[in-house]
Amino acid sequence: MDTGSIFSALLAGIVLGALGRLIIPGKQAIGWILTFVLGLLGAFVGGFLAEGLGIDTWWQILIVQAVVAAILVFVVAGFVGSKSRQRRHT
């Protein structure tokens, strides 16, 4: 990834984290900071994945980044949520 790709991944990660946080209503199992971190991680992983798949159009890369970020947030929120529910019931 070149410098422009890294900068766009940072920006996309922050935006994706914020949008993901705003779209899902109600109390959530993970906080804002973890959501942003997962958005950033998803943007970087999605960028590398798109590069590996030979995708070079910016909007297609953004879609891959968004999907990877959404999957990460879904998995981590489910894991954290299940752990907190287990503690409450015991």
Give the pLDDT confidence of 63-90 residue by residue, as tens digits. 898 888 888 878 887 787 666 555 555 5
**pTM of the full structure:** 0.74
Predicted pLDDT of residue 83: 63
Q: 20-52 as b/e, with b when 16 or more CB fall inside 10 Å?
A: bbeeeeeebebeeebbbbbbbbbbbbbbbbbee
Predicted pLDDT of residue 55: 93
Residue range(s) defining the domain that contains residue 21 = 3-89
Report how many domains make up the chain.
Answer: 1
Predicted pLDDT of residue 32: 78
Q: What is the tens place of the pLDDT at every residue in 44-55?
A: 899 899 999 999
Predicted pLDDT of residue 24: 66
Q: What are the helix (H) ranges across the chain?
A: 3-23, 32-52, 58-89
Q: Mean pLDDT, to the nearest integer, of 13-30?
A: 72
Predicted pLDDT of residue 61: 87
